[in-house]
Structure 1
Amino acid sequence: MKAYYNLDGAGDTLFVQLMDLDKAECNWTRIEGITRITEKETGKTAGYNIFNPSEYGSVSGKGRIEFNAGLVELINTALARNGIEESVEQE
């Protein structure tokens, strides 16, 4: 799993990558304040774009950021508050 954040470059948006896919292999669905990215063929979640993640916890950095317990909690809080019945776990 990978996570990227850059307030200056992309605004208050957290990009969460769960699997490596080309854009042509993905579908995007906007659910409240999150875009869920899925693999076209299987429907499996490939990642999320979480808008305004600072509303769910503390996030900072520029570029790839550490996927730690605090970030996992923030992501899972954001998913739950936006009605997405999924969660991520730290590797």
Structure 2
Amino acid sequence: MDVFYNKEGIGDCLLIPFKQGDRYQTTFETFGDVVKIIDTETKEVLGYNIFQASQYLSLGNGKITLTEELLSQIKDIFTKNNLDDALDIDLSPKFVVGYVKEKAPHENADKLNVCQVDLGDEEVQIVCGAPNVDAGQHVVVAKVGAIMPSGMEIKAAKLRGVPSNGMICSQKELGLPDAPQEKGIYVLTGEVEAGQVFQF
């Protein structure tokens, strides 16, 4: 999970986004320097903003990967500002190398395939519509809970009745520079193995 800080662009504020939401459908609760952002319909917490962030933390500009150490510091900031939210965040990598073990045609859709993908510590089923997906490939997988560069959150879903847990990604979906325009997943070459963290 990533957090964001850009003092010149948005001021001395650390952004901690959890989920995408409609900005016209949100409410806020303020706890000192911490603002909690809530979806008014679902009551889900969409994220937090920490103002005067530089008084609490030493931060670089831009996207910052949330580590155990930074998470611990943020919990301390919550405590200092009388906010007792638990902040149980899964810090495991969400973009990893997957190995496509099997590919079978989807029973209800001509252009979809059902893939069994080894992620190193688990095997997941992913429905994929890319024309170039095949067994024996190393690919980039966005796991359930990943936030794509577009802002889309990857969720467990059923595609035409078949469960799918994650997404096999194209270079374009990953926001990589000079990504090909034609449809197709990003097939990795070289020394990679299932479960390895994909570095953007």
1:9-20 to structure 2, matched below 5 A, reads: 9-20=9-20
Matched, 1:46 2:46: yes
- What is the CA deviation profile of residues 37-67 of structure 1, one whole-angstrom value per residue up to 9, with x for unaligned ones? 01112322211110012222322222x2211
- Distance in 1, matches of 2:73 and 2:7, equals 16
Structure 2 length normalisation: TM-score?
A: 0.41
Structure 1 length normalisation: TM-score?
A: 0.83
- Distance in 2, matches of 1:76 and 1:87, equals 8
Larger helix proportion, structure 1 or 2?
A: 1
Say which SS state the counterpart of residue 84 (structure 2) adopts.
coil
Change (3 A) 1:30 1:77: same
Say which SS state the counterpart of residue 70 (structure 1) adopts.
helix
Letter aligned with residue 36 of structure 1: K
Residue correspondences, number: 90
Cα contact 1:12–1:54 (8 A) shared by 2: yes
**Which one has more relative contact order, counting CA pairs under 8 Å at least 6 apart?**
1
Structure (1 or 2) with the larger CA radius of gyration: 2
- Distance in 1, matches of 2:2 and 2:25, equals 18
Long gaps (5+) in structure 1 = none
- Distance in 1, matches of 2:50 and 2:29, equals 12
Correspondence for 1:56: 56
Long gaps (5+) in structure 2 = 92-200
In the TM superposition, residue 90 of structure 1 has moved relative to its aligned partner by 4.4
In the TM superposition, residue 18 of structure 1 has moved relative to its aligned partner by 1.1
Say which SS state the counterpart of residue 57 (structure 1) adopts.
coil
Correspondence for 1:85: 84
Identity between Structure 1 and Structure 2 (%): 26
Correspondence for 1:66: 65
Say which SS state the counterpart of residue 27 (structure 2) adopts.
strand
